[in-house]
Structure 1
Amino acid sequence: MTDLVRASGPVVMGVLNVTPDSFSDGGRYADLDAAVGHGVRLRDAGAHLVDIGGESTRPGAERIDAATEAERVLPVIRELTAAGVTVSVDTSRARVAEAALAAGAAVVNDVSGGLADPDMARVVRDAHCPWVLMHWRGHSRAMRELATYTDVVVDVRAELAQRIDTALAAGVAADRLIVDPGLGFAKTAAHNWELSSRLPELLDLGYPLLFGASRKSYLGRLLATADGTPRPTAQREAATVATSVLAVAAGAWGVRVHDVQATADALAVWAATGSPRLAVSPHDEKRTPHDHEHGVRR
């Protein structure tokens, strides 16, 4: 597991929400048998990691208590680990992360980057496990009001650098850290597209980068009908695959997706083609937020 951070090929993280209210699949895997079965299917489809979350982080979601979150994720982690599935826990609570690691989780995927619970750094340090630090500015219920940036890429990069520095100061090993730009978290559609198109600036931090665009609302808006109706969540898979391949071609360490097989198949094609990388030129015309917001294509 310790080598996963240094994986030579892209890492595919499969999403397993054991919640009643997640934006894409809330309620589908709340039952233990359904959750375990889906986790095994994700692994068999090509997921290197199955990311188990017990608290919805969709915009506007209310928080649940730590005991409820733990009750949702721990049985699933135990069962999947026993079945030989490598799992991560999607949590911002140190108490839940610690229990999840004891139950067999191998990675902590923290949407708050350590901000929500200062004790998380201790838990990760002592476990010596990989820790995904996502860019975050506040809990789901308030994230829309926090989507204000001077330059979203510059600001996100600086704020991620602060999270890295805090983790290192707490004794977390540098080779355990992974960063995530936090698409959709206190970000508008324009912000998401800008971050996607300028990933090399985030990669300059020097840490593996996890990219998670799967089924998000900005893809639905891009693919909206002529009358402005967003593409339904379940019909955003081709767009998700495209974002994932482009992110990996730009240098992302891994991608977090709901439909593992579609992404794994596309990445297999990418690898068979020689794993081509995107050419980045400082002279390329920069697309404006206005263009991104309205789906302008050039």
Structure 2
Amino acid sequence: MTQKDYYRPIPSETGRWRLAGGWVRFSQCELLRRGAAPEIVDEIPPDWLARLTAPRPSVLGLSLEVPRLMAILNATPDSFSDGGLLGEGAQAVARGEALIAAGADLLDIGGESTRPGAAEVAVSDEIARVVPVIAGLAGAAPISVDTRKAKVAASALKAGAGMVNDVSGFDFDPCMAKVVSHSGAALCLMHAQGLPETMQDDPRYGDVLLDVYDALAERVARALTAGVSAAKIVIDPGIGFGKTEAHNLAILRRISLYHGLGLPVLLGISRKRFIGQIGQAEAAAARMPGTLALTLAAIGQGVQIHRVHDVAEIKQGLRLWSALDLGMSG
């Protein structure tokens, strides 16, 4: 079998090229191969260079020339961090408005917990949870619906959502691709190994960084075949979804590799369990500092969209980072 090469851009303040048309520059890449040590190279194949440097199109009207915050709004009783705390209906809408006021660029509204060990929620229940909240917030900010189910996605899009965030990457519901392609909605394809009920039992990879890259490439190809426009697709490596602490860290250390797919990258690490384990914060709500640290590290590798709980705090950190590194404000 021919050895496959992967090229990870190495951020550099004085780099020759802009990564994905954004705020990070690079001149060199790490050449990554399975079973071999990384090698720093100056020569980058034209196809890889084209994908790494092409400016990314806007997502839901949001330019990706600067990092964006996606606020998590869970209309669920059992999410790992805030299940049952945000309420339903008017209370959840008010929470969404507060997140926007705190600096959220877009909202991700979900009605089914996908925490490790979570059970599947009936379609009718999930629709009843998310549609009133989406309808109440439609027009206030761009909205994504966090769902694996085609019927939920269709109802959410009709209520005012503009993006489908499918944590299964089209693996769960065979009808999801048709719903997304026919609607013209934006799409986030995430990588997960297994279902929430069992995904953390014993996740294994040959090379997690490269295995996830290949799996995402396959999901993107499937979406394109189904008629989804490449300009509408965002990818997410799925931190914590069928991955150990070591797997998560391996991805985060070299997350700039995923720009090689030629698409915007979304990262969801907010309050995840491994942050608590490393940062010695048992309670999920106490993991904001660790979340901020990893968010800024990922921004330093050009990751464009960050899915977070603690919008005001992360936004404050982003403003300070921007003032120091980019001279940006806002």
Kindly tell me: are residues 197 and 160 of structure 1, through their superposed partners in 2, closer, same or farther at Cα, counting changes over 3 Å?
A: same
TM-score by length of 1: 0.87
Contact 1:138 1:146 in 2 (8 A): no
Determine whether 1:271 maps to 2:325.
no
Deviations 1:25-66 (A, max 9, x none): 000123212211110011111111111010000000110110
1:146 is displaced (CA, Å) by 5.3
Higher strand share: 2
Aligned residue identity for 2:184? H
After superposing the two structures, state which structure 1 stretch, 17-26 or 243-252, moved more.
Answer: 243-252
Aligned residue identity for 2:175? D
Aligned residue identity for 2:155? A
The answer for unaligned runs of 5 or more in structure 2 is 1-57
| Rg comparison, structure with higher value | 2
Distance 1:36 1:154 in 2: 40
Kindly tell me: are residues 24 and 50 of structure 1, through their superposed partners in 2, closer, same or farther at Cα, counting changes over 3 Å?
A: same
Q: Which residue of 1 aligns with 2:15?
A: none
1:7 to 51, 56, 64: 64
Determine whether 1:20 maps to 2:71.
no
Distance 2:307 2:76 in 1: 17
Matches within 5 A, 1:110-259: 110-145=166-201, 147-224=203-280, 230-259=281-310
Q: Which residue of 2 aligns with 1:39?
A: 96
Aligned pair count reads 270
Distance 2:194 2:179 in 1: 21
Determine whether 1:67 maps to 2:124.
yes
Kindly tell me: are residues 207 and 2 of structure 1, through their superposed partners in 2, closer, same or farther at Cα, counting changes over 3 Å?
A: closer
Aligned residue identity for 2:313? A
Contact 1:137 1:146 in 2 (8 A): no
After superposing the two structures, state which structure 1 stretch, 123-132 or 214-223, moved more.
Answer: 123-132
- Partner SS, residue 140 of structure 1: coil
TM-score by length of 2: 0.79
Deviations 1:149-192 (A, max 9, x none): 01100100010000000001111100111000101100001111
Q: Which residue of 2 aligns with 1:51?
A: 108
Distance 2:244 2:199 in 1: 10
Deviations 1:86-131 (A, max 9, x none): 2110001011001100000011111011111121111111221210
Aligned residue identity for 1:274? D
Contact 2:88 2:133 in 1 (8 A): no
Aligned residue identity for 1:214? S
- Partner SS, residue 141 of structure 1: coil
Q: Which residue of 1 aligns with 2:35?
A: none
Q: Which residue of 1 aligns with 2:149?
A: 93
- Across the aligned residues of Structure 1 and Structure 2, the Cα RMSD in angstroms comes to 1.5
The answer for unaligned runs of 5 or more in structure 1 is 225-229, 277-298
Identity percentage over the alignment?
Answer: 43
1:6 is displaced (CA, Å) by 4.5
Deviations 1:57-79 (A, max 9, x none): 00001101100000000000000
Aligned residue identity for 1:133? L
Distance 1:231 1:67 in 2: 34
Distance 2:157 2:194 in 1: 25
- Partner SS, residue 148 of structure 1: coil
